[in-house]
Amino acid sequence: MSQILTVSETILEPIHPVGIFPTADIESNEPELESSLHLHQIFLLISCLEFLWRERNDYFAAGNLSIYFKPEPNQAPEFRGPDFFVVLGVEKQERKSWVVYHEGGIYPHVIVEILSDSTAKVDRTKKKLLYQNIFRTPNYFWFDPYTLEFQGFHLVAGEYVALELNERGHLWSRELQLFLGIHEGKLRYFTPTGDLVPTTEEAWRQEQGRANRETQRAEMAIAQTEKLAAKLRELNIDPEQI
């Protein structure tokens, strides 16, 4: 006699297997940079921001690093790799990549693409639409290190609106609370008052220059004092008694 199972006793096989989603620890999958000029520009953007924000621990800035989004079960998630991006309001720590779905769904607040002959068309079209419609990144900039083409956008009602250059030729990033502009052929940051945000080397040179000027002023003051003392002695006046 065959055994009859009730509904509650029946072993049901799942129609679809449970999906395995990618972990947060994913290696970046970006190609090599176009040139040493691109590398230097990206390093400038990262290092100057880190120097300026050296007391802060609430952001993540990276260059040529994959951003993983839209995970699909049992397969690699979609990803894109901006040349430079900044995420605000997150813990500053080392990451192999930026995995949106393991970072609370947070996308970059600022993205900069460094144009090249092979990427310029995509950066101006497909990537712009991706950053506007999917990433919803508030500030998007691109810069060509050869032609010095520079343009920026901010998100208004879900669409990118071109930023207008100020009298210095700089564009304002509301997210960074800094201007971006071209200085000596490189894309650099400027403070709200228009001062160049220095590299560590530039800051050291500025400090050395200030120290040297202070030393020169002190030496001049000593020399003038000694000259006055000598003049008083010629007049038979003891400068120590004055």
- Residue 42, classified by CB atoms within 10 Å of its CB into exposed (0-12), middle (13-18) or buried (19+), is buried
Are 66 and 80 a contacting pair, CB within 8 Å? yes
Task: Show me where the domains of the chain are located.
Answer: 36-197, 201-241
What is the rounded distance in angstroms from the CA atom of residue 188 to the CA atom of residue 178?
10
**pTM score, two decimals?**
0.74
**Cα angle 97, 44, 213; round to 5:** 145
**Cα angle 84, 88, 90; round to 5:** 110
**36-197: what CATH class?**
alpha beta
Q: Please tell me the predicted confidence (pLDDT) of residue 183.
A: 96
Query: Who's near 171: CB < 8 A, 6+ residues apart?
Result: 141, 150, 151, 152, 163, 164, 165, 179, 180, 181
One-letter amino acid for residue 146 of the chain = Y
Task: Put residue 105 in one of left, alpha, beta given phi > 0 → left and psi -120 to 50 → alpha.
Answer: left
Q: Please tell me the predicted confidence (pLDDT) of residue 22.
A: 54
What is the rounded distance in angstroms from the CA atom of residue 22 to the CA atom of residue 219?
66
Encode pLDDT of 85-130 as tens digits.
Answer: 999 999 999 998 999 988 999 999 999 999 998 889 999 999 999 9
What is the rounded distance in angstroms from the CA atom of residue 160 to the CA atom of residue 227?
67
Q: Please tell me the predicted confidence (pLDDT) of residue 9.
A: 39
The ranges of the chain with pLDDT < 50 are 1-20
238 SS3 class: coil
